[in-house]
């Protein structure tokens, strides 16, 4: 028996083109556009991160394929609109990597990793200036508005820190966090104005991201771990409740809290 043929990148592009064929394609794929596919692109990127976090390498292979499909999907729609196609995407990122790594593909040299990172930022700043980007001379230039807000907060803080606008260590960040939590408490006491609560809770979240940055902790990974821990303990509560003959919804809050503490003790 012959080995199954390994599919190529050209095969994947052809599959996507067929799926998008108005006459013979998949009705769901045909009706999609950039805006409807964008949420799936973000979701697939998170699923890649989750597979890495779980060290599930076969799943990572599959999730990387799903993410690649998103790139191919967008490129196919762009080709149909005569904007660009997959080859242009590959060329653009190849050209960017060559341009941003002059120490590898050119004659530039850096003394250490920090110098290299600064060189990268300098190259990006020059690219923004060449494009005539608004506020290209700002330390915050180029921080995408399309990022998840926690990620954008992290990048804004890191950019500000590069020009010295940063706390020296974690202690004043912790103090600021307590201050912001107190302001949330005050807003609850003052009548629960939704707009003001939104502002104050936003300040708390911004400071928490900053605290993670100062701690050297990946905010997204920390939250993923917290979610996984909550899910694990909550499922344990449900299991204990069922095994004792009374489903969790039938327990009052005090009883549920007791189950939670038991779940924590065995975690």
The string of DSSP letters for 210-232 reads HHHHHHT--HHHHHHHHHHHHHH
CB 74 within 8 A of CB 30: no
Three-class SS of residue 101? coil
> Does the pLDDT value for residue 119 go beyond 90?
no
Residue 258 lies in a domain: yes
Average pLDDT for 214-218: 94
For the full predicted model, state whether its pTM sits above 0.75. no
- Euclidean distance between the first and the last CA atom of the chain, given in angstroms as a whole number: 49
Residue 240 lies in a domain: yes
Burial degree of 237 (CB within 10 A; 0-12, 13-18, 19+)? buried
Q: Look at residues 98, 119, 145 and tell me which one is the last residue of a structural domain.
A: 98
Query: 135: which DSSP letter?
Result: T
Distance CA 96, CA 94 (A): 5
Cα angle for residues 107, 112, 118 (degrees, 5° grid): 80
The band of 181, judged by pLDDT with boundaries at 50, 70 and 90, is very high
Cβ neighbors of 34 (< 8 A, separation 6 or more) are 74, 77
pLDDT of residue 22: 95
Average pLDDT for 24-53: 93
Residue 43 lies in a domain: yes
pLDDT of residue 53: 85
Residue 174 lies in a domain: no
Residue 166 lies in a domain: no
Convert 161-197 into a string of H (helix), E (strand) and C (coil): HHCCCCCCCHHHHHHHHHHHHHHHHHHHHCCCCHHHH
The band of 135, judged by pLDDT with boundaries at 50, 70 and 90, is low
The band of 128, judged by pLDDT with boundaries at 50, 70 and 90, is confident
Domain with 49, as residue range(s), is 9-98
Three-class SS of residue 121? helix
Our count of domains for the chain comes to: 2
> Does the pLDDT value for residue 146 go beyond 80?
no
pLDDT of residue 131: 73
* pLDDT digit string, tens, across residues 189-208: 998 899 999 999 999 999 99
pLDDT of residue 126: 82
Answer positive or negative: Cα dihedral of 221, 227, 233, 239: negative
Q: Look at residues 73, 98, 123 and tell me which one is the last residue of a structural domain.
A: 98
**Helices (H), ranges, 21-56:** 27-31, 34-54
Q: Look at residues 50, 82, 98 and tell me which one is the last residue of a structural domain.
A: 98
pLDDT of residue 147: 80
The band of 169, judged by pLDDT with boundaries at 50, 70 and 90, is very high
Distance CA 186, CA 200 (A): 10
Residue 181 lies in a domain: no
> Does the pLDDT value for residue 188 go beyond 70?
yes
> Quick one: what percent of the chain has pLDDT higher than 70?
97
Residue 149 lies in a domain: no
> Does the pLDDT value for residue 219 go beyond 70?
yes
Please count the residues of the chain: 267
Distance CA 203, CA 179 (A): 10
pLDDT greater at residue 129 or residue 180: 180
Mean pLDDT of the chain: 91
User: What CATH number corresponds to the domain at position 29?
Assistant: 1.10.287.1080
pLDDT of residue 122: 82
Residue 32 lies in a domain: yes
């Amino acid at each position: 028996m012959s080995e199954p043929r390994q599919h190529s990148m050209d095969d994947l592009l052809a599959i996507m083109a067929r799926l998008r064929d108005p006459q013979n394609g998949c009705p769901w794929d045909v009706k999609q556009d950039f805006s409807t596919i964008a949420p799936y692109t973000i979701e697939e990127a998170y699923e890649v991160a989750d597979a890495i976090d779980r060290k599930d390498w076969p799943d990572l292979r599959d999730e990387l394929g799903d993410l690649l499909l998103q790139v191919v999907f967008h490129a196919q729609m762009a080709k149909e609109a005569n904007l660009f196609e997959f080859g242009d995407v590959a060329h653009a990122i190849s050209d960017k990597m060559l341009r941003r790594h002059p120490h590898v593909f050119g004659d530039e040299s850096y003394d250490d990793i920090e110098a290299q990172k600064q060189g990268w930022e300098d190259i990006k700043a020059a690219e923004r200036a060449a494009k005539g980007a608004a506020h290209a001379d700002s330390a915050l230039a180029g921080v995408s508005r399309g990022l998840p807000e926690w990620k954008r907060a992290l990048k804004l803080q890191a950019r500000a820190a590069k020009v010295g606008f940063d706390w020296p260590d974690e202690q004043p960040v912790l103090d600021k966090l307590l201050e912001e939590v107190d302001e949330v408490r005050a807003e609850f006491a003052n009548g629960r104005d939704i707009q003001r609560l939104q502002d104050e809770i936003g300040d708390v979240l911004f400071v928490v991201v900053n605290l993670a940055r100062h701690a050297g902790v990946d905010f997204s990974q920390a939250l993923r771990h917290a979610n996984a821990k909550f899910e694990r303990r909550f499922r344990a509560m449900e299991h204990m409740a069922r095994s004792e003959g009374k489903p969790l919804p039938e327990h009052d809050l005090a009883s549920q809290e007791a189950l939670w503490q038991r779940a924590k003790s065995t975690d």
